[in-house]
Amino acid sequence: MQPETQKKSSVSQFIQVVSETSLIPFLSIVTAMLIGGVIILLVGGNPIIAYMGLLEGAFGSVRALSETAIWSTPYIFAGLAVALAFRGGLFNIGAEGQLAFGAVFSSLIGYALPGWLGFDLPMWIHLPLTILVGGLAGGLWAAIVGALKAYTGGHEVINTIMMNYIALNATSFLLNGPMKDHAPLNVIARTPEIAESARIMPIFDGLRIHWGFVFALLMAFFVWWLLNKTTLGFEIRTVGLNPDAAQYAGINVKRAIVLTMLFSGILAGLAGTVEVTGLNYRHELGFSSGYGYDAIAIALLGKSHPLGVVLASFLFAAMRNGATRMQFLTQLPVDLISMIQALILLFVAADAIVRYIYRIKAKGERVTLTRGWGG
């Protein structure tokens, strides 16, 4: 009997923790949707039809579900990237650029490697290699910022933003020049199609959902394991909570900062890689616009917890996917969704507002990221 009750209590404890931590995000979503509804009314639309369209577009059919899963795949990776950095006390605004680099280099390996080698590679070598290179490209790009932070004190917020602009310029240079698709009639800045052997297979015939989605879920589990079950994860979290205490406890803070950014960048790079290898089979300029910034909202909404990130990614994916149907039904622009997402972010970030509206008492500590510049 004894173990049974113990198990029961731990389950109810788990439920209690989940409901407590998800209360504020949930109320934030509700509040943002309500304000969104008012905006729809103000511009002369019908919020009920709009939101029904949103739901139908996101979940209304098997196909819609598959598309929502596809949208959520890069979101999960990019959201995990930002969340992991948050846990290490770093704010990675550079997921956008890391993602672009992941996409560029994975497509390069995807289309050019067989040509360089002079023979076709089997899929079990080519695909993992493509994914690895894509992830590392994003990781190393981010690790530069980590190293600058660790060894010179250059603040990662501005540096990641600067690296975004550099990455996007570099991408545009590569896709317009050396890596441009030279197929006849092509005027778009995009790479050639990647080889069959570098593609992630769809899970079901006739649907676009691919194994990259499962990969994303596994990666969320991996990040949870890394953070909570390994020494490195413990170091990352300790540095995130209090770098001085971590230093005092004998943790190599500089190493932890560089590794946090490296892993964060790898995750962001994978977000670009799965889009290339699983969905588009090439990199096209501007495909990723906004993933990196949505990822910040997703990480905050998911409270920087891998499970929370997965759920928040589903929500954002459903909104993005459903928006097309909503626009079709009500002529409301898709950008409305960006507005609602910005409001969700506002309420999640400033949970005090939500607590004030719904009269909920504060509990626990707040995260502090701002520690002055160039510390």
Partner 1 sequence: MDWKRFGFIALIITALFGAVVMVGQSQQRPLLIITSMLATTISVATPLTLGALAGVFCERSGVVNIGIEGMMLSSAFFGWFTGMYLSNVYGWTLMPSIVTGTIVAVFTGALMGLLLAWLSVTFKVDQIIGGTVINILAVGLTGFLNRQLFFGETSLFGGTVPSSPGVYSAIHLPIKEIFAPMCGGGEICLENINAINRVFDQKPIAWAAIILVFVSHYVLFRTRWGLRTRAVGEHPKAADTVGINVERMRYLNVIIGGMLAGLGGAYFTIESIPSFEPLMTNGRGFISLAAMIFGNWTPIGAWAAALVFGSSQALQINLQLFRESIPEQWAFLQQSYVVGLTPYILTMLILTGIIGKTMPPAADGQPYEK
Q: Which of 161, 217, 232, 329 binds partner 1 (CB under 8 A)?
A: 161
Residue 149 Cβ vs partner 1, minimum distance, rounded to whole Å: 9
Which among 361, 374, 325, 318 has a CA at the least distance from the CA of 341?
318
- Between CA 9 and CA 128 the distance in angstroms is 43
- Between CA 169 and CA 173 the distance in angstroms is 6
Task: Tell me the number of residues near partner 1 by CB under 8 A.
Answer: 50
Tell me the HSE value of 279 on the side-chain side, using a 13 A CA sphere. 21
Contacts of 306 (CB under 8 A, 6+ apart): 80, 83, 220, 221, 223, 224, 227
Which x/- pattern, by CB under 8 A, does the window 83-102 give for partner 1? Answer: --------x-x---------
Q: Which of 14, 153, 245, 328 binds partner 1 (CB under 8 A)?
A: 153
- Between CA 42 and CA 37 the distance in angstroms is 9
Positive or negative: CA dihedral 303, 306, 308, 312 = positive
Q: Which is nearer to partner 1, 137 or 194 (CB)?
A: 137
Q: Which is nearer to partner 1, 43 or 245 (CB)?
A: 43
Q: Which is nearer to partner 1, 43 or 201 (CB)?
A: 43
The verdict on 335 binding partner 1 (CB under 8 A) reads: yes
Residue 115 Cβ vs partner 1, minimum distance, rounded to whole Å: 24
Q: Which is nearer to partner 1, 10 or 368 (CB)?
A: 368
Residue 18 Cβ vs partner 1, minimum distance, rounded to whole Å: 23
> Considering only 24-32, 148-156, 192-200, 223-231, which stretch makes contact with partner 1 by CB under 8 A?
148-156
Q: What angle do CA 163, 168, 170 make, to 5 degrees?
A: 90
Residue 108 burial (10 A CB sphere; 0-12, 13-18, 19+): buried
Residue 350 Cβ vs partner 1, minimum distance, rounded to whole Å: 5
Show contacts with partner 1 in window 17-46 (CB under 8 A): 43
- Own/partner long-range contacts of 224-228 (Cβ < 8 Å, ≥24 apart): 224/305, 224/306, 224/307, 226/263, 227/84, 227/87, 227/306
Residue 371 Cβ vs partner 1, minimum distance, rounded to whole Å: 6
The verdict on 213 binding partner 1 (CB under 8 A) reads: no
Contacts of 323 (CB under 8 A, 6+ apart): 54, 57, 334, 336, 337
> Considering only 225-233, 256-264, 266-274, 350-358, which stretch makes contact with partner 1 by CB under 8 A?
350-358
Whether the CB-CB separation of 97 and 292 falls below 8 Å is answered with: yes
Q: Which is nearer to partner 1, 199 or 325 (CB)?
A: 325
Pair of tokens at residue 205: 């015939």
Whether the CB-CB separation of 274 and 288 falls below 8 Å is answered with: no
Q: Which is nearer to partner 1, 16 or 169 (CB)?
A: 169
Residues that bind partner 1 (CB under 8 A): 43, 91, 93, 148, 152-155, 157-159, 161-163, 165-166, 169-170, 172-173, 293, 296-297, 300, 331-336, 338-339, 341-343, 345-346, 349-350, 352-353, 366-374
